[in-house]
Amino acid sequence: MSGRLIATLAGGRISQSRASEVLRELTEAGVVRCDEHPPAKLYVLNRGHVAAAAIVSLATMRERTIERMRAALSDWAPVPSAAWLFGSFARSDGGTRSDIDVLVVRPDRVEAEDREWTAQVAGFTAAVGAWTGNPCSVVDWSEMELAERTVAGERLVEEIGRDGIPLVGAQRLRRAAPAAR
């Protein structure tokens, strides 16, 4: 990868000159290898370096967090009818202070105040916070509430339909049909 591409992948959080500076230091430390193809320099992780596994682990934190969330929700009894990750974490534009937002859809047969259900929500919220250091915010709707909010064209439903990442259940959030004219 070029330094320019790496700076771009950082989402605007670092400049190209800063990326080049860091890459030069990582090359000097042997963590990355640099192949010069003037005018570009191409960088690749030295997977044999003792730090490579830790770097890969850090680079895949988001994906591993999503997999943990999927596994945790799949262990619930009952399993949510559906769940989606949404917001800045789903869009990959969150920061260290961003909430991790999840919509959990409970089966209609489960009451909102059900002790086991609320304990699972609380446990999940705490676990996600422990895994990431970010607070987790769960929106808990019944299947009926989701259907009603979808028909009403609620903004959150539209956002999840556009940017949401499915965790369990339905892979896509059905959008409301356009109103007849």
> What are the phi and psi torsion angles at 168 (to 5°)?
-145, 160
> What pLDDT, on a 0 to 100 scale, did the predictor assign at position 14?
82
Domains annotated for the chain, with CATH where assigned, are 3-58 (no CATH), 61-169 (3.30.460.10)
> What pLDDT, on a 0 to 100 scale, did the predictor assign at position 181?
45
> What pLDDT, on a 0 to 100 scale, did the predictor assign at position 16?
86
The DSSP code sequence of 47-108 is TTSTTHHHHHHHHTHHHHHHHHHHHHHHTSSSPPSEEEEESHHHHT---TT--EEEEEEE-T
- Residue 31 contacts residue 49 (beta carbons within 8 Å): yes
> What pLDDT, on a 0 to 100 scale, did the predictor assign at position 174?
62
- The reported pTM is 0.81
> What pLDDT, on a 0 to 100 scale, did the predictor assign at position 47?
96
Q: How many CA atoms lie within 13 A of 125 on its CB side?
A: 16
> What pLDDT, on a 0 to 100 scale, did the predictor assign at position 9?
80
> What pLDDT, on a 0 to 100 scale, did the predictor assign at position 170?
76
Per-block average pLDDT, block size 10, for the chain (181 residues)?
83 83 95 92 95 94 97 97 96 88 97 97 98 97 96 95 93 57 45
> What pLDDT, on a 0 to 100 scale, did the predictor assign at position 138?
98
> What pLDDT, on a 0 to 100 scale, did the predictor assign at position 39?
87
